[in-house]
Structure 1
Amino acid sequence: MKIGVIGYGLRIRGVINNELKKLDPDVQISGLVDINPAKHVQVQQDGSEHVRIFETPEAMLEEIDLDGIMIGTRCSLHTPMALKVLSSGLPLFLEKPVATNMKDVQRLKNGYEASANRKVVVSFPLRVTSIVQLAKEIIDSGKIGSVEHVQAINNVPYGNVYFQSWYRDEEETGGLFLQKATHDFDYINYVLGTKPESVATMASKQIFKGTKPSGLKCIECEENRTCPESTAFRTDSLKEEWAHCCFAKDTGNEDSSSALIRYESGLHVSYSQNFFARNKAAARGARFLGYKGTLEFDFYTGVVKVYMHHSPRVETYEFTGDKGHFGGDSELARCFLGLMDGSMERSVSPLEDGLISALLCLKAQQSSITGTFQEIAWD
């Protein structure tokens, strides 16, 4: 399999090297478009010694035969790069969010519908995890009755990345509904099998704000040996040389937000995300409530429970293993390989669903700014 890559970012690099190549060791990156020369070296060091470097996606598509394209650029370029690829008809792996503003999400919808290319895998790994697949199987069986209420939560233990790295730039990312909630909104939509109708949200910035100078790096701050957010106390991948102060004037991003979403059937979902929870306070999952019972799960614990409402019975399912995005990354990679070799006809994470999730997130953002309910409808 010969893959063309547009933007060799950390996420797409991980999917290729940790998932695709494990499933098919013969996968190779044949073409790369990336404005950063360091990525040209990195891709060769990762095993693609014969990769060809191109200045534009158009040149890559014209000069070499490819089996598929993967887009791993910064978020604001996802739509324009996808529009360049869709007309080729090649299978496409597209990072989320698929768009970062209303203009782009409409452009992408129009371009997708005009292209007739349905071989698109959006990077929504949560929907294809074993946990969500089991939850959907149980709910679809009618065991807990029709779902009439959902309570979902995402307490992010690594929230510092959204205030100290490039993610702090809301112009680039589109905000934290698009960066985090887009995953949760997608798996909820997938499990429910129905579409959102309207949304009302509220966002707060209570922790990661302050009066430190704009542009201040963590390593330059006089408090970098006492501040609990300092890189001096962390073992994650946030490098000292580019980590910014999260208590500066230019930090960006809310640090908690909540949404109420009404669906076509009349049921509503409550969702809340938080970016200053840490360690064992981490939680990500949902409760799906029907008249007959309640199903709940948490990705961090790997436990699914079904509480029956009219009998003293609780069913517990426990998943083991520690794979990327709780096992979802490998399923997305398997699907992308299948679309490229022809063994699969349909994407497990199609662009139609990526567009709905992005639209919902953008409307959620508008709601938090205006204090109004927003209809989930295309302009």
Structure 2
Amino acid sequence: MKIGVIGYGKRAGHIMAALQQMEPQCDVTAITDTSPDIINESLGEKSNNIHFYEVPEHMLEKEKLDGIIIGTRCSLHTKMALKVFPYNLPLFLEKPVAINETDLLKLKKGHEEFPSPVMVSFPLRATPIIEQVKKIIDSGLVGTIEHVQAVNNVPYGGNYYQGWYRDEEETGGLFLQKATHDFDYINYLVGSTPVQISAMQSKQIYKGQKPAGLMCVNCEEKYTCRESAVMKRLNEEQVFGEYCCFANDTGNHDSASVLIRYDTGMHAVYSQNFFVRKEAKARGARLMGYKGTVEFDFYTDTIKVFMHHNNRVETHVINEKDRAHFGGDRNLARNFIAMMRGNALSISTLEDGILSALMCIKARESAMGERFEEITFKRI
């Protein structure tokens, strides 16, 4: 299984590791990247049999590949995908599939012209816990889902203010970075089409008047600030980046909430937060039908089903030992290998990726304009 990678960063490396765990004969044989020396050093002897290219067109023309992984910065996802589509190769496309509506529409039209097999990196929908929740909902045990309350309280929020993720020109902002996963699994579980969205965002913690571009090592508060990369290293804590998260150029909201209306008339509520810590973390949802409520949390691997008309409560413990996206990366890798062999269709399609990205873009517009947005492309 010969795989070409466009943008060999941390995420692409994780996906390759998951693929090789599922199928040791999966090998990276070609890489397009602007930093081949850094990749060579990180891969060591593994890089001896890899061909490096400066532009993807040369790689796609010269190499005989079974699949492609796109792991570039987010702003390039659409541009690179459009180069791959005409070759009809199975494509693993990192999320978000686009960071603005113009690129998203280009991606949609490009895939309509060249409908090649695509898997979007939505591991949450592929987790064992979501698979079990989907079975419970589809069984009719709790009735048709009529309301959803979802939450993502992120305990590693510094990641989005101290490194490159703070640049919204590259990422599109935190709806596209985080909510895109949650919107996708909600859509998957309720099985309905979102038609309208409204959002509100705030930035209450990660803001300040420190100068733009200030690095923690150059700050006079480097030994007293709770977020200082210098202090975190001294305390042997995880370091998310070298930049001051209280500077005037951090970008990104630090909490946001969203209302989503579906075509059935039901609605969902979603909230994300980036300054909680430790055991305040939470990621999951409550989905309510007339007969009962099912709730789950990825961090605890627990599902509970509360029946509304008797006193029964069911508890399901998943015991998922693979913590790479709660077991979702493994299942995406298994499916992508089957796609490359021609034995399966994608469980996370480009259409899913486009819909989720459009929801995020509309949520961003809603939060900025303080209005409801229709989940549809603008007329061009």
Q: What TM-score bracket applies, with the shorter chain setting the length?
A: over 0.9
Instruction: Supply the distance in 2 between the matched residues of 1:33 and 1:144 (Cα, whole angstroms).
Output: 49
Equivalent residue letter for 1:191: L
Matches within 5 A, 1:196-215: 196-215=194-213
CA, structure 1 residues 212+57, in 2 after alignment: closer, same or farther (shift >3 Å)?
A: same
Structure 1 residues 313-322 or 157-166, which shifts more?
A: 313-322
Q: In the alignment, does 2:155 pair up with 1:157?
A: yes
Q: Give the match for residue 169 of structure 1.
A: 167
Q: Distance in 2 between matches of 1:237 and 1:332?
A: 27
Q: 1:104 is matched by which residue type in structure 2? A: D
CA contact (8 A) 1:44 1:51 kept: no
The answer on whether the counterparts of 2:200 and 2:256 sit within 8 Å (CA) in structure 1 is yes
Match of 2:184 in 1: 186
Q: SS where residue 306 of structure 2 aligns?
A: strand
Give the number of equivalent residue pairs.
374
The residue correspondences of 1:216-235 to structure 2 (distance < 5 A) are: 216-231=214-229, 232-233=231-232, 235=236
Q: 1:31 to 1:86 in 2, by over 3 A?
A: same
In the superposition, the TM-score normalised over structure 1's length comes to 0.97
Greater displacement, 317-326 / 66-75: 317-326
Q: Deviations over 1:297-335 (max 9, x none)?
A: 000000000000001000000121142000000001111
**SS of alignment partner, residue 256 of structure 2:** strand
TM-score for both structures, normalised by structure 2? 0.96
How many angstroms does 1:81 deviate by? Answer: 0.2
Q: Is the Cα–Cα contact under 8 Å of residues 40 and 53 in structure 1 kept in the other structure?
A: no
In structure 2, what is the Cα distance between the partners aligned to 1:260 and 1:269?
A: 6
Match of 1:261 in 2: 260
C-alpha distance in 1, partners of 2:270/2:339?
33
d(CA) in 2 for partners of 1:34, 1:160:
27
In the other structure, the counterpart of 2:30 is 31
Q: What are structure 1's unaligned runs of at least 5 residues?
A: none
Alpha-carbon distance, 1:237 to partner: 5.5
Q: Which residue of 2 aligns with 1:20?
A: 19
- Partners of 1:252 and 1:46 in 2: how far apart? 39
Match in the other structure for 1:106? 105
Aligned to 2:49, what secondary structure does the other structure show? coil
Q: Distance in 2 between matches of 1:146 and 1:220?
A: 56
Could you tell me the percent identity over the aligned residues? Answer: 56
* 2:285 counterpart of 1:276: no
2:286/2:295 contact within 8 Å kept:
yes
Q: Residue 333 of structure 2 corresponds to which residue in structure 1?
A: 333
1:65-144 to 2 correspondences below 5 Å = 65-117=64-116, 119-144=117-142
| Cα drift, residue 45 of structure 1 | 1.9
Residue 40 of structure 1 deviates from its aligned partner by: 3.4
Counterparts of 1:237 and 1:98, CA distance in 2: 28
1:352 maps to 351
Structure 1: distance between partners of 2:204 and 2:70: 34
Cα distance per residue 1:62-98 (max 9 Å; x no partner): 1110000000000000000000001110000000000
- Mean Cα deviation higher: 227-236 or 216-225: 227-236
The structure-2 alpha-carbon separation of the partners of 1:258 and 1:46, relative to structure 1 and needing over 3 Å to count, comes to: farther
Give CA-to-partner distance per residue, 1:117-175, whole Å, 9 cap, x none: 1x111000000101101111100111000000000000000000000000000011000
RMSD of aligned Cα (Å): 1.2
Q: Distance in 1 between matches of 2:12 and 2:239?
A: 18
Contact 2:174–2:252 (CA under 8 A) maintained in structure 1: yes
How far 1:37 sits from its partner (Å)?
3.0
